[in-house]
Amino acid sequence: MSKIQTSLRLDEDKFSEAKVILKSLGLNFTDAVNIFTNLIVVNRGLPFDVKLPTKEFKKSIDELENRDGKNFKSVDELFEDLDN
């Protein structure tokens, strides 16, 4: 199998952080890109779901960010609310 060389424009901080994580996994950045490329081919698309968030999900995130969600004093109270 022949190889080609390519170049990428990446956020420098994220690239450095990714290299550290990959090193701890025993991989280098080229290995990771090759794995990702192979997964794209095997899956005939991205190897994970890419979706627009639903209105319900957006509302949940807004509640979390604004701290507008429900609060519970105990796990039992949480489960009671879930049952209702």
Position 84 scores a pLDDT of 86
pTM above 0.75, yes or no: no
Digit-coded pLDDT (tens) for 19-65: 999 999 999 999 999 999 999 999 999 999 988 889 999 998 898 89
Nearest alpha-carbon partner for 36 in 53, 17, 27: 27
Terminal-residue alpha carbon distance, the chain: 59
Assign residue 80 a region (left: φ > 0; alpha: ψ between -120 and 50; beta: otherwise). alpha
| AA identity, residue 5 | Q
Cα gap 57→63, rounded to integer Å:
10
Structure tokens at 13: 């901080």
